[in-house]
Structure 1
Amino acid sequence: MWLNAPLISNIEIISDTIMRFLILLITIASLAACSSSGKRPDQELSERGIYDKAMEAIGNENFFLAIETLERLENRYPFGKYSEQAQLEMIHAQYQAQDLENARATAERFIRLHPQHPKVDYAYYMKALTTYELGLSLVERYFADEESQRDPSPAQESFNELAELIKRFPNSEYAADARQRMIYLRDRIALHEIHVARYYLKRHAYVAAANRGRNVVENFQGTKQVDDGLAMMVEAYTLLGQKDLADKSLKVLKANYPEHEQLVDGKFQLSGWHKKDHRSIWNVMTFGLVD
């Protein structure tokens, strides 16, 4: 009997060890299950599920959430069924969130990667819009007169990009709006030319003023500034003493715009811009370098 005692004790030790091992395995399995069940809900979503979540965010005008969700979709399913449409939706979401630089970059990337996509015209359209918006300062967004006096390069670039859209996709659903925007942009560029011409008059640079006026007349037909361009030519040529050129320009002005403000009882009145010298404090402080 005493001989069997150690054997029984050993069996009990082995059984206890096995039991402890089994408990450890069960604990590890339970922790793994908890960890798996603790995943964020969107990590288990399918490609369609993530896309639908992004569309819901756009519908709710939560564009920052939409951008985040679309980025997750692109990272997880870069060649998925919804990848191309998601890129187009990204352009829209970034534009609405005023993330203009990224919106333009996304549009350019889509055009480069999917030139034959049936909706690539939208990317061209949004590229042009973001180009123009990027050229506007905070003041220019709300005050049209300020806008017309700023650098016209973004407006010109946007105009060219809208023209490219119409050339490539004349039947696009965005073509009509693009044409209206081009009319507006062309008018703003012409108005900028008039502002510059008046600046030259103020600085007694009459040849430069006449050239700006002629540029409006020759290259911006159909805008509201053609009459001012003609008037600028009359005034600048008069101040230069070039009577023949002044008379020719005046004849055209009278024939086409008899109601122009500088025509009084059929006679041309100088605007007086050449007598003005509205120098800003910045102009004085920088000795004429900044105006």
Structure 2
Amino acid sequence: MENEKHDLMRTIQIKFPRLSKGQKLIAEYILKHYDKAAFMTASKLGISVGVSESTVVRFANELGFSGYPKLQKALQELIKNKLTTVQRIELSNAFISEEDSLKGVLKADMENIRVTLEKINQNTFNEVINSIFAAKRIYIIGLRSSTALSEFLGFYLNLILDNVHVINYGISDIFEQIINISSDDLLIGIGFPRYAARTIEALSFAKSRSTKVVAITDSLLSPLATEADYTLIAQSNMASFVDSLVAPLSVINALIVAVGLKEKHKISKTFSDLENIWEEYRVYSYKNMEDK
């Protein structure tokens, strides 16, 4: 990562003397504020430095990119795992106004789902489903902000299957919870920038035991993907201190539904039994139903 950053910044420095006056302004801004520039459109970057949008596009071409989106993507790849929470808050203030926060966030999440639909591989998805049913035991790990995703996946898979274990922080260490993992098992790792180091270590440990590994992450360049046999891509871009987990959750929903469709008769009985238990032990409020 540091080498890639150095190479891009070095390219800008080398080409700097030959750039036009307007392009030099862009170069100086990126060298100083590349973390912010990565989330700016060509138009917004131009406004920020006082040049036209076409000048920004020509600057990207001068660096060897086919267009500004390619340069923007290169910058995002450099910084997405490096942004601190404080930097994310600054980005939120710069790109999502208080008045437009609702529409801005919803539109960003819609875009994440759209891109995920384009990127995700159906054959890989099918292989993951097959691996779930072939596994003796299924372990799920997602830490930090991904804990919500791993708990959600574990909750529903536990209603369908009887061999699911969610790994989390508690009395025992992560490795103590997977000490008996083997080649007959499956580990599903969930992680998005900033990637939790312990999740990556758990995937690496599972690989050392010849366990089949599935990663649900944002890119094939993700450190989780490098440890995985199968990778399901879900975009999580958000210029905010809050991680966008809408697209990852949608992919997880699809996994749960696909597994459930293969076990229709079993889950029908399970939920029938659960309805009786829920009613007997007042798990849910039945007040409105009684009023009727």
Decide: shared fold, TM above 0.5.
no
Which fold has the larger relative contact order, with Cα–Cα distance below 8 Å and residues 6 or more apart in sequence? 2
Q: Rg bigger for which structure?
A: 1
- Higher strand content, 1 or 2: 2
- Higher helix content, 1 or 2: 1
Q: What band does the TM-score fall into relative to the shorter chain?
A: under 0.3
